[in-house]
Structure 1
Amino acid sequence: MTAPADRSDEPAEIRVSAVVIARPDRRVLTVRKAGTAMFMFPGGKHEPGETPLETAVRETREETGLRIRPDELVHLGAWDTPAANEPGMALHSEVFALWRPMARHEVPEADDEIAELHWMDPAAPAAPACAGVAPLLLPVLARVAAQPLF
């Protein structure tokens, strides 16, 4: 009988859902959580029994106040990247997009967990001074920049 393989050198995986919300000028909403230095999409970790889509809707509401319906979101795909704020951790992200213009009354606002909102250009991702761009944003924004939004 052989001993199980030592997996201590493999990073643990964090599973999240993220949401791409774009304006007609193609800029995409990003958030920076309090106590962190990376901008990322609204989203977060799944709660027990929650589907990735349910997580996307809940986290968007909690972080930005935007109330979107599950049927409004399009699944863009899944990405595996390093985690932005947990060194040595891997991130598996189910990414959804809201491909409709927001109504005048739909204005994202940061909650207590979110320190800052920033509308980022997908063709030239850059964070405000003294902050970075989460690894997940780069491949997703490259896809967003190459497709029509609305």
Structure 2
Amino acid sequence: MDAGTIEIVAALICNEKGRVLLVRKRGTTAFMQPGGKREAGENDLAALSREIAEELGCAVVRSSIRPLGKFDAVAANEPGFRVRACLYEVDVTGAIAPSQEIDETIWIDPGAPPDIPLAPLTRDHVLPLAAMRRPGEATS
């Protein structure tokens, strides 16, 4: 890992209408993907499952996990740092409720995000990717 780079795992969670779930951590202003740092000995999927359970109170559907790639961006909450995120598209089961360090959750249209502060990773990489992947003709 490079000095000044924070390695994380992040989740792209979309609902049936193609909206993307974002979270805002306590004491911060930027909305971002759920996820976080790996703990010692954790692989990406274990870390992602733990972070989703801790932050949102729901569970990752293991059969739904799809790797989307690695992305680099300026860190939203750590001045002078960058994040390197392994991004996964996942489905979740159970009620989504912010907990632990999460103050707020929001569902947004990735092709027309509202005027809210967005983490650089979310703004520059995740939302454009989600906008290209979302269902074109939702039937629900």
Place the TM-score, normalised by the shorter chain, in its bin: 0.7 to 0.9
Question: TM-score, normalised on structure 1?
Answer: 0.82
Instruction: Note the 1:1-150 alignment, pairs <5 A.
Output: 12-98=4-90, 100=91, 106-126=94-114, 128=116, 132-138=117-123, 139-149=125-135
Say whether the 8 Å CA contact 1:54–1:70 is kept in structure 2: no
One-letter amino acid matched to 1:140: V
Gaps of 5+ in 2: none
Higher alpha-carbon deviation: 63-72 or 49-58: 63-72
Secondary structure in 2 matching 1:146: helix
Of structures 1 and 2, the larger Rg is shown by: 1
Q: Distance in 2 between matches of 1:69 and 1:144?
A: 19
Structure with the largest fraction of helix: 2
* 1:4 alignment partner in structure 2: none
Q: Distance in 2 between matches of 1:39 and 1:123?
A: 16
When the two chains are superposed, the root-mean-square deviation of aligned CA atoms in Å is 1.9
Superposed displacement of residue 112, structure 1: 2.8
Say whether the 8 Å CA contact 1:19–1:41 is kept in structure 2: yes
> Once the two structures are aligned, what percentage of the paired residues are identical?
37
Q: Distance in 2 between matches of 1:147 and 1:33?
A: 26
Gaps of 5+ in 1: 1-9
Distance 1:11 1:76, change over 3 A: same
Superposed displacement of residue 11, structure 1: 5.7
Q: How many residues align?
A: 134
Secondary structure in 2 matching 1:140: helix
One-letter amino acid matched to 2:96: P
CA deviations on 1:61-113 (whole Å, 9 max, x unpaired) are: 11001111433210011101111100110100000012x5x66xx22100031
